[in-house]
Every structure is written in C-alpha cells, then in structure tokens.
Amino acid sequence: MVAKRVDAGGNNSKPRTPPATTPEAREHQMVSLAFDLAQKQMEEGTASAAVIVHFLKFGSSRNKLEEEKLRKENLLTQSRVDQISSSSQNTELYQDVMKMMKIYTGEEPEQFDGE
C-alpha cells in the first residue's frame, strides 16, 4: 500500500513514491518533484522571479538551438571516436596483410618481426 502525504491543512496530496534504487532514478525523482513544485508555485502565483526566469529561458528558441547544437557536437564527437577506432583496426589489418605478403614471397617470419 502506498502512503499518502498529508499537508499542514490535513488535505491528502499525491501518493508517496517508493525510494529510487539507483542514483539516476533518484535524480529523476528529484527533478520531477522540483518541476511539480515549480508548476504549483506558478499556478498559485507564488513562484519566485528565479523560477519564472528559468522556465522562460528553458522554453526560448535560443535554448532549443543550444540543445540542438550540443546534440550535434555529441554526434560529431562519437563519429570521431568511431573513426579513430576504425583507423586503428585498419592499421592492424594492414600490418597483418603485410606479414602475410612477406610470408607469401618467401621471407622468413623473423625478418618482418624486426629480428
């Protein structure tokens, strides 16, 4: 059974959610609670200027462009990581091919290992 919160006036509010099992889930719970509280304050007209400014900035077109830019920068970074990984795999493949070609041409394996 889920316990219900009772505010100072004795009114029941939302049911209490069980505690999160991971730090990420806990963070998500806390953010959700903060958004709920900010929404309640804004609806009641008691929100501070900082809360109002935060949500004005959050909903601005500039913020959306900045988020899009960050997403694209993340994609570019991931692409670079993939390219470096692919490049190192290709280098290993070329080295193996060179070893096999030397063996095929009759060179001793010790000669191409630097010995």
pLDDT digits (tens, 9 = 90+) for 53-99: 998 988 899 989 999 999 999 999 999 888 888 888 888 888 888 88
Q: What are the tokens at 6?
A: 């009772």
Between vectors from CA 100 to CA 98 and to CA 105, what angle results, nearest 5°? 95
CB 102 within 8 A of CB 114: no
| pLDDT given for residue 5 in this prediction | 54
CB 42 within 8 A of CB 52: yes
Q: What is the model's pTM?
A: 0.50
Show Cβ contacts of residue 18 under 8 Å, excluding neighbours closer than 6 positions: 2
Looking at the predicted structure, is the pLDDT value of residue 1 above 50?
Answer: no
Question: How many other CB atoms are there within 10 angstroms of residue 39's CB atom?
Answer: 13
